[in-house]
């Protein structure tokens, strides 16, 4: 990754470049912004540039290669271990910082989710900020500066990050993923300014699942229930049962709108023709009843009922009572 490849965050990129060019990099930064919007990527790109022999993320010098392989000895990443960032992690870091950098001109400490330091860890970390080691840059990341000790806050140079715009996320998707338009629309909605690979991959799974759930509900009248058992099991194994119920709810809400001939605000607009065709002939009572069933299923799952059985039972009732079809 190079600065020119980073999509969005232009003013922050510019600020870091100027600090580097003018040799005015502070000893510690606090990067503030939502999770998954590219703060870590920017730190890594910045650190790589600072230590590159060509000063331009060449990806071929020894330093760049070490960064690219995730094995640079002078790049220390601290992140929550289980419940939070423990005092032992900070003590180990202090031990490292007592030594000279192995290779880098500028050694870097990146603290992810810095707000997850407990009081003991934070007080210990404060000592590093109070007497920063030479040739060391410290970067803390957090979505909310108010969750850090004021004494830590006040010692860092703050940089604020905004979520990426829809257009910027679209650019990331176009560059890194080849998605069908229906899937892409859902991913853009789900991403909410985040571009971390994990979020995008989850969004793609959910986008495909939404289409499968909606077709399942739509076709239950004629399809056989056991055709769906494997799919339900698979979603439960991936812990996606909550999303299954959400998609059911969204379909039902759209069903209500389609009955009233209101299609502009449909959640599942891509299904408008199917919804309009099916929506007539259903009474308010029947719709209310099926809404209630989805809620009951959610409660049953929360109270430890077998998740796959609860979903199957919901589909049985959808098929039998909602669509008036025999259960097979």
Site residues, Zn ion (CB under 5 A): 52, 58, 61, 64
CB of 163 within 8 A of CB of 194?
Answer: yes
In whole angstroms, the minimum distance from the beta carbon of 69 to Zn ion comes to 13
Rounded to the nearest 10 degrees, the angle between the axes of helix 197-219 and helix 229-237 is 150
DSSP state string for 33-81: --TTSSHHHHHHHHHHHHH-TTSS--S-SHHHHHHHTT--TTEEEE--B
CB of 237 to Zn ion, least distance (A): 43
Assign 109 to helix, strand or coil.
strand
Count of all residues that appear for the chain in the document: 328
* Contacts of 305 by beta carbon, 8 Å cutoff, 6+ apart: none
CA distances from 307 to 35, 37, 139, 238, 298 (A): 30, 33, 43, 12, 9
Give me the least distance between CB of 45 and Zn ion, in Å please: 12
Nearer to Zn ion, 105 or 180 (CB): 105
Q: How far is the CB of 44 from Zn ion (least distance, A)?
A: 13
Closer residue to Zn ion, CB minimum distance, 61 or 300: 61
Between 61 and 267, CB nearer to Zn ion: 61
Is 48 or 254 the residue whose CB approaches Zn ion more closely? 48
Provide the minimum distance between the beta carbon of 127 and Zn ion in the complex, in angstroms, as a whole number.
33
The nearest distance, CB 41 to Zn ion, in angstroms, is 17
304: left (phi over 0), alpha (psi -120 to 50) or beta: left
Q: How far is the CB of 51 from Zn ion (least distance, A)?
A: 8
Rg for the chain (alpha carbons), in Å? 26
Residue 42's SS3 state is helix
Min dist CB 291 to Zn ion, Å, is 59
Task: Centre a 10 Å sphere on the Cβ of residue 206 and count the other Cβ atoms it contains.
Answer: 19
Q: Based on CB atoms, which residue is closest to Zn ion, 62 or 120?
A: 62
Nearer to Zn ion, 58 or 267 (CB): 58
Measured CA to CA, the distance from residue 316 to residue 276 in angstroms comes to 23
* Residue reference for tokens 């699942």: 209
Q: Which is nearer to Zn ion, 59 or 253 (CB)?
A: 59
Least separation in angstroms between residue 66's CB and Zn ion is 10
Cα separations in angstroms, 304 against 244, 291, 298, 310 = 17, 21, 10, 10
54 versus 219: smaller Cβ distance to Zn ion: 54
Q: In what order do the strands lie in the sheet with 107-111?
A: 75-78, 107-111, 136-142, 28-32, 157-160
Q: Is 64 or 211 the residue whose CB approaches Zn ion more closely? A: 64
Q: Return the DSSP state at 8.
A: S
Measured CA to CA, the distance from residue 26 to residue 129 in angstroms comes to: 11
């Amino acid at each position: 990754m190079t600065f020119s490849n980073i999509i969005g965050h232009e003013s922050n990129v510019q600020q870091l470049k100027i600090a580097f060019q003018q040799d005015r990099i502070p000893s510690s930064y606090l990067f503030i912004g939502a999770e998954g919007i590219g703060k870590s990527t920017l730190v890594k790109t910045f650190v790589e540039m600072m230590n590159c022999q060509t000063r331009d993320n060449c990806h071929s010098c020894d330093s760049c290669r070490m960064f690219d392989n995730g094995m640079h000895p002078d790049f220390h990443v601290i992140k929550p271990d289980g419940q939070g960032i423990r005092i032992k992690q900070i003590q180990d870091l202090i031990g490292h910082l007592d030594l000279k950098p192995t290779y880098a001109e500028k050694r870097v400490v990146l603290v992810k989710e810095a707000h997850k330091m407990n009081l003991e860890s934070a007080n210990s970390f404060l000592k590093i900020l109070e007497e920063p080691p030479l040739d060391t840059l410290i970067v803390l990341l957090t979505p909310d500066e108010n969750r850090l000790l004021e004494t830590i806050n006040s010692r860092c140079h703050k940089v604020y990050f905004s979520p990426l715009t829809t257009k910027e996320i679209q650019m990331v998707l176009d560059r890194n993923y080849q998605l069908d338009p229906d899937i892409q629309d859902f991913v853009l909605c789900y991403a909410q300014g985040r571009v971390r690979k994990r979020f995008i991959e989850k969004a793609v799974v959910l986008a495909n699942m939404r289409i499968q759930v909606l077709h399942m509900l739509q076709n239950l009248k004629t399809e056989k229930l056991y055709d769906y058992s494997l799919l339900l099991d698979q979603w439960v194994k991936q812990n996606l049962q909550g999303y299954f119920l959400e998609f059911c709810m969204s379909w039902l809400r759209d069903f209500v709108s389609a009955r009233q001939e209101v299609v502009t605000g449909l959640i599942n607009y891509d299904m408008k023709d199917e919804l309009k065709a099916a929506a007539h002939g259903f009474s308010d009572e029947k719709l209310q009843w099926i809404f209630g069933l989805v809620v009951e299923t959610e409660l049953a799952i929360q109270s430890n009922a077998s998740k796959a059985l609860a979903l199957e039972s919901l589909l049985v009732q959808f098929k039998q009572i909602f669509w008036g079809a025999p259960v097979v």
